[in-house]
């Protein structure tokens, strides 16, 4: 996470978040064609590194949406992250059991691709959330 925090400061939150989404697509898509333990290790390293990026950026976004309630925002985000991980594991288990040990990973790869497209759409609609170097939104006082 510290490496991804540095990357987010340098290249912007959205860039790192979208790189994490692309790493997820590459990971599950790569599992379809992986043939050696070395290839699997490379996929795992990329997925772990950029997976941390999406968690870090997600926590930051949640905290910015709930200004003044950072602890609650983090708890809510991590709860959703856990539910997503459990659901993703169930989808992967069912699709691998149904389609076979390699082709079954196309289902989670496709779901990650849809999530990446949704995140890209959201960041293009709200570019102010793209750059971590910008300050938090100002709170309007009546």
Q: Is residue 95 domain-resident?
A: yes
Residue 140, domain member (yes or no): no
Which pLDDT score, from 0 to 100, does residue 129 have? 61
| DSSP result, 30-73 | HHHH--SHHHHHHHHHHHHHHHHHHHHHHHHHHHHHTTT-HHHH
**Angstrom distance (rounded) from CA 33 to CA 101:** 11
Residue 83 domain-assigned (yes or no): yes
User: Would the pLDDT of 113 be above 80?
Assistant: yes
Residue length of the chain: 142
Q: Distance between CA 19 and CA 85 in Å, rounded?
A: 18
Q: Evaluate whether residue 25 is within a structural domain.
A: yes
Distance CA 4, CA 37 (A): 26
- Between 106-125 and 70-99, two packed helices, what is the crossing angle to 10 degrees? 150
Residue 39 domain flag: yes
User: What is the residue range of 116's domain?
Assistant: 2-129
Q: Quick check: is 70 in a domain?
A: yes
Neighbours of 106 (CB within 10 A): 16
Identify the band that residue 137 occupies on the pLDDT scale cut at 50, 70 and 90: low
Count of domains forming the chain? 1
Give the mean model confidence (pLDDT) for residues 66-82: 78
Predicted TM-score of the model (pTM) = 0.67
Assigned domain for 50 exists: yes
pLDDT at 80: 78
Whether the pLDDT of residue 6 is over 70: the answer is: yes
Query: Is 142 within the bounds of a domain?
Result: no
């Amino acid at each position: 996470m510290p490496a991804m925090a540095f990357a987010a400061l340098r290249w912007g939150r959205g860039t790192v978040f979208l790189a994490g989404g692309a790493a997820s697509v590459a990971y599950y898509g790569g599992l379809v064609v992986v043939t050696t333990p070395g290839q699997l290790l490379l996929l795992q390293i990329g997925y772990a590194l950029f997976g941390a990026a999406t968690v870090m950026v997600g926590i930051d976004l949640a905290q910015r949406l709930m200004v003044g309630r950072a602890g609650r925002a983090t708890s809510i985000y991590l709860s959703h992250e856990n539910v997503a991980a459990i659901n993703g594991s169930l989808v992967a288990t069912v699709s691998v059991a149904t389609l076979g040990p390699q082709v079954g990973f196309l289902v989670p790869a496709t779901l990650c691709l849809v999530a990446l497209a949704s995140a890209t759409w959201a960041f293009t609609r709200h570019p102010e959330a793209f750059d971590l170097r910008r300050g938090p939104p100002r709170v309007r006082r009546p």
